[in-house]
Chains A and B, each alone.
Chain A
Amino acid sequence: METFLSQLIFGLQRGTIYALIALGYTMVYGVVRLINFAYGEVFMIGAFVSFFLVNAVSLPQPILVVLALLIPMITCSLLGLAMDALAYRPLRQKPRLAALITAIGVSFFLSNFVSYSSGETVRSSALAAFIIAGLLLLYVLGVKYLNFPVKATPNFKPVKFVIPIVSLLLVGGIFWVSRDLLVELRWKGSSFASYPVERLIAIEKIPLYKTVYITNIQIMNFAVSVVLMVVLSYLVNRTMTGMAMRASKNNKDAVALMGVNVNRVISITFIIGTALAGAAGVLSAVTYPRLTAFMGVQPGLKAFIAAVLGGIGSIEGAMLGGIIMGVAEQFAIGLLPSSYGPARIDFTPLADGVAFAILIVVLLLRPQGIFGEPPQEKL
């Protein structure tokens, strides 16, 4: 009973993290039918931004806690906006496969970029980001005021370049500010950075029932996720933007005819999804303080499976799917024997596969997921 309860608590905690990432997947999929594989990487970047911030700034603890959550969320939503504007928007009218491949490319790019910009190369990466941002800026100014290239098309909009330039500057700035830290840490390859939780909050165990404990970090975790999910529900169900979002899910063309800027709705969806993934990254880093450049790949895939399990496109589904997934995985870790039989077989590595086993079962039995509607073939 005690084991069950404490495993349940750990499972719920794991589950809320999956649920937060899964929300991003499911919202974007609902509106644009795109699996944005890069959410796992957004998650990782959220964790790292928070890591830099907490290491670099010394502020009173309560302010630091709030900042350590908010700044990564803002950074990640900018990143999401940039991703959408640069990689996905140009492909919106193209076959869906092209966008899917692009998403894999973005994911590959981000994780390897972070992996590369560690250790001694961080200075050059920061400089490279600054230089590219500068060149873009020069290009924009040149086209705008100097008729720089021969072909200055009339629909040239400098606004389109604001997001990439700002995000590049931001990334470069973060690298530059934390360069000494990064060079010192050298979390390259197999090594990793460990998140300084003690600077945020002192870990306390609160007894619940006999030997069952809940830590204050877990409570914070639950509180943050619940608040975020409530805010999200309000946003989607009670505001005009949310209404536009839900309507775009049904029929994008009709929504556009109603005078809604669909591209803006999609951008907002990306912003919300990536901000949630960033928050999940911070929560995960606080709980499992081991950061690597590839830490996002597995949670990203598992969160996607959670979204499929709940019914992709459905927000309640993503929340429920994430929680089921987290609990199932935690129970697998807790219950699989670590040395079984005379051969002392260690079964725990199999826990990693539970998510994928769930996926295959779901797709065979109920491909539309728990809350999803069966797809309709249209000719």
Chain B
Amino acid sequence: MKPTTSTILGLIAFYALVMVTSALGVMNDYILRVINLMMINIILGVSLNLINGYTGLFSVGHAGFMIVGGYVAGFMTTLLFGITKDTPYMEALPLFLVSILAAALVSALVGFLIGLPVLRLTDDYLAIVTIGFGEIIRVIFNFITFKKKVGNWELDVGGPRGLLGIPPLSNFTVIFLFTLFTVVFIRNFVFSRHGRACIAIRENEVAAHMMGIPITRYKVLAFVLGSTFAGIGGALLAHFIQLLHPTMGGFMKSVEYLIIVYLGGMGSISGTIVAAVALTGLSELLRPIGELRMVLYGALLVVLMLKQPGGLMGQREFPFLLPERERKIYAAQNR
């Protein structure tokens, strides 16, 4: 896409604002952490939206892919490369990027292996298989507790204790760039020929098939892309909260991302961004009421489906995310 000047300026301004205020100490670490978390949630939400919103599949195993990426990257930086929090950042960064790449590849591979047989099933079955997948991931990471020397490194991802001591490599710049990359990539995918094929599958599978769209190929493509970005999000999250736990791959965590997607609107990147920011911010604001916010999340999902099934944004997008032609139409409508 050709971004408008104002979009680029806005992004630069946002980046500069955060960097300057945090350097000057105007913005404290807590707010910076919340902003980072919002951006990671945007990555995970937008990638889930590609699967659930645009292609119309119903995956409830997004956290499973996320944690696969997290474990791969965490394992590589912590155990393979032996990076600790004392390692100079510039030395650790290339290795970190390699780990993120590996995480993305492994998640993509897992997504492909799961997706290829499973995507032939209808929505209900897909939902339950992806839940099952998340649970299997949890069981496996619970299981790998043994220490084993292979060459000169130890295989130990902690089992039920979780993987601890991951170096804090995800800083604002890294997360910002990856979020930008994810949003731009998925937005360009969605407005491309392939994206239209996915949307056609969502709207009517049989009709799409009649039009000559290879259904399974596009479903697998969307699923693999979604899980790739989930892996990237997981890698960033692992190096942000510095801890990985098998339960993070389970059903409960996946539901949180589902809520982001459905609150924002299925098939709207803008909606997902709004919902990720709003829900992350809200859950920080609601911290005093503790567990009650989980109760509210459940109720929110029900009320949302009853009253506003399209989510906040429906299928609309912010104008700056639209292609030029549609942006002009939008501008003409709002003149």
Residue numbers of A with Cβ under 8 A of B are 29, 33, 35, 86-87, 90-91, 94, 96-102, 104-110, 112-113, 115-116, 297-298, 301, 304-305, 308, 343-347, 349-350, 352-353, 355-357, 359-360, 363-364, 367, 375, 377, 379
Is there an interface contact between A116 and B136, defined as CB atoms closer than 8 Å? Answer: no
Is there an interface contact between B136 and A105, defined as CB atoms closer than 8 Å? Answer: no
CB nearest to B132 among chain A residues? A356
> Does B131 lie at the interface of the complex (its beta carbon under 8 Å from any beta carbon of A)?
yes
Is there an interface contact between A97 and B258, defined as CB atoms closer than 8 Å? Answer: no
> Does B301 lie at the interface of the complex (its beta carbon under 8 Å from any beta carbon of A)?
yes
Given A105-B299, A105-B301: A363 and B251 interface contact (C-beta under 8 Å)? no
> Does B84 lie at the interface of the complex (its beta carbon under 8 Å from any beta carbon of A)?
no
Is there an interface contact between B124 and A352, defined as CB atoms closer than 8 Å? Answer: no
* Main secondary structure on A side of the interface with B: helix
A-B contact count (CB 8 A): 135
Q: Tell me the residues in window 243-258 of chain B with beta carbons closer than 8 Å to chain A beta carbons.
A: 251-252, 255, 258
> Does B127 lie at the interface of the complex (its beta carbon under 8 Å from any beta carbon of A)?
yes
Interface size on B, residues (CB 8 A): 49
Q: How far is the CA of A130 from the CA of B19 in the complex (A)?
A: 50
Q: How far is the CA of A126 from the CA of B141 in the complex (A)?
A: 39
CB nearest to A364 among chain B residues? B117
> Does B218 lie at the interface of the complex (its beta carbon under 8 Å from any beta carbon of A)?
no
Given contacts A305-B128, A305-B132, A347-B143, 19 further A-B contacts (CB under 8 A): A29-B124, A87-B306, A96-B123, A97-B58, A105-B302, A109-B295, A297-B252, A343-B147, A343-B148, A350-B139, A353-B140, A359-B129, A360-B117, A360-B118, A360-B132, A363-B117, A363-B125, A364-B117, A367-B125
The answer, among B60, B121, B298, B304, for a CB contact under 8 Å with A110, is: B298
Is there an interface contact between A363 and B302, defined as CB atoms closer than 8 Å? Answer: no
Given A301-B131, A345-B146, A360-B129: A109 and B309 interface contact (C-beta under 8 Å)? no
Sort A-B residue pairs by CB-CB distance and give the 4 closest, nearest first: A109-B298, A105-B301, A108-B298, A353-B139
Is there an interface contact between B298 and A308, defined as CB atoms closer than 8 Å? Answer: no
Is there an interface contact between A116 and B300, defined as CB atoms closer than 8 Å? Answer: no
Q: For B216, list chain A residues within 8 Å (CB).
A: none
Is there an interface contact between A356 and B148, defined as CB atoms closer than 8 Å? Answer: no
Q: Tell me the residues in window 90-140 of chain B with beta carbons closer than 8 Å to chain A beta carbons.
A: 117-118, 121-125, 127-129, 131-133, 135-136, 139-140
Q: A-facing mask of B284-314, CB < 8 A → 1, else 0?
A: 0000001110110111111011100100000
Q: For A375, list chain B residues within 8 Å (CB).
A: 122
